[in-house]
Amino acid sequence: MSVLVVAEHRRGELRDVSLEMITAGRQVTAATDGDLHVAVIGGRVDEYAQQLNREGVDVVYTVAEGEEFNHDVSVQTVEQLTVDLDPAVLLMPHTVNGLDYAPAVASRLDRPLVSDAIGLAVEDDLVVTRELYGSKVETSIAVGSERAAVTVRPAEWPKTEAIGDAQIETADVTIDESTIGSTVRGFEETTGGDIDITDSEILVSVGRGIDEEENLDLIFDLADELDATVSASRPIVDSGWLEKGRQVGQSGKVVTPDVYIAIGISGAVQHVAGMKDSETIVAINTDPNAPIFDIADYGIVDDLFDVVPALIEQFEA
Ligand SMILES: Cc1cc2nc3c(=O)[nH]c(=O)nc-3n(C[C@H](O)[C@H](O)[C@H](O)COP(=O)(O)OP(=O)(O)OC[C@H]3O[C@@H](n4cnc5c(N)ncnc54)[C@H](O)[C@@H]3O)c2cc1C
């Protein structure tokens, strides 16, 4: 089965999901001896193409149309490339941009679309794993069609790191300028200021166990000692104690830091969905039966108001 991956960039940076989709695509091409093609649209396409030249990629197609994401350009480009290359599997990111154009492309190509994939396998058909019922159930969907479109959840596959020997080609795509109905006029950060919790190697994450807003100082003190960033479960954000950009989980950010310290967080499925792929998980909770301990590598069953000051003292020393 051949695969076409549509890469994503934002504000001048190739996003990690692009290299994660290459890993996902390789899973399919390796199992079926197919070609792996990658397309990158707009911005510094030549630079992105070099970064996308990773092991397993046969051809990177560049489309130098505009600087930033544009719905109409993406729809037309991905549609034309898919018609030309005829990949069995079209992989797009399950991101704000991907969700903007993927359904339109799938509809125009008359392909079934499976969204938010967290696993791919090839049996007789392509089999896509996704979650249902607020992440309580995982289901495998056999796509009963020779041609499919899939959006891939960020941070579910590792990035493909090894450099490859892909050809880099300018794609032969014609954009009908008269159909472009919208353009990006600028960006404004709405939450979190310049804090991007997805960038942090260490996250100190706080939940309802902290009890009161004033007690958050303790968590920031620990984060300072560790050179870490503070993130939170949803109730902390819903209470207005921390900004939305710091929320981890299904309706927050998906994070994969080297170390995730969950303090006074129970480990509800909606929270775990956003942090379960962290390299090392440390949990501090008074309740030995808290579900967070099911996925923690290290667990401390104790009162956070005793443990956190002791940790700060330890790291200060
Ligand atoms: C559609 C939907 C989307 C959602 N999206 C998200 C999301 O993106 N992110 C998210 O986090 N949640 C989300 N939720 C909410 C989620 O279901 C949980 O309610 C939430 O994660 C619980 O947060 P918590 O663990 O901080 O609080 P709680 O569940 O109240 O847990 C607090 C924990 O602190 C421990 N504790 C209390 N005192 C102490 C102490 N002194 N020392 C140590 N431990 C202590 C308790 O034992 C308990 O385990 C969503 C829910 C829905 C329905």
Which atom of ligand 1 has the smallest separation from the CA of 305?
A: 41
Q: How confident is the model at residue 194 (pLDDT cuts 50, 70, 90)?
A: low
Alpha helices by DSSP H, listed for 59-142, are 71-85, 96-109
Q: What tens digit of pLDDT does each residue of 62-75 get?
A: 999 998 899 999 99
Q: How much is the pLDDT for 317?
A: 80
When comparing pLDDT for 153 and 196, which is higher?
A: 153
Which of 142-146, 202-206, 281-285 has the least mean pLDDT? 142-146
pLDDT at 3 over 80: yes
Q: What tens digit of pLDDT does each residue of 207-240 get?
A: 999 999 999 999 999 999 999 999 999 999 999 9
pLDDT at 192 over 80: no
Q: How confident is the model at residue 137 (pLDDT cuts 50, 70, 90)?
A: confident
pLDDT at 149 over 90: yes
Query: Ligand 1 site: residues with CB under 6 angstroms?
Result: 134, 207-209, 233-235, 247-252, 264-266, 268, 270-271, 274, 284-287, 290, 303-305
Q: How confident is the model at residue 196 (pLDDT cuts 50, 70, 90)?
A: confident
Mean pLDDT value of segment 273-299: 96
Q: How much is the pLDDT for 183?
A: 85
Give, for 216, the enclosing helix (H) or strand (E). helix 216-226
Q: How confident is the model at residue 191 (pLDDT cuts 50, 70, 90)?
A: low
Q: How much is the pLDDT for 186?
A: 80
For the CA atoms of 262, 268, 270, 273, the dihedral, rounded to the nearest 10 degrees, stands at 60
Tell me which residue of 31, 24, 42, 29 sits closest to 2, measured CA to CA: 29
How many percent of the chain have pLDDT more than 70? Answer: 98
CB count within 10 Å of CB 238 equals: 13
Q: What tens digit of pLDDT does each residue of 93-133 get?
A: 999 999 999 999 999 999 999 999 999 999 988 999 998 87
Task: In whole angstroms, give the CA distance from residue 145 to residue 110.
Answer: 11
Interval between CA 242 and ligand 1 midpoint (Å): 14
Interval between CA 155 and ligand 1 midpoint (Å): 22
Interval between CA 292 and ligand 1 midpoint (Å): 10
* Beta bridge pairs of residue 248: 253
DSSP string, 243-269: -GGGBBSTTSB----SEEEEES----H
- pTM for this prediction: 0.69
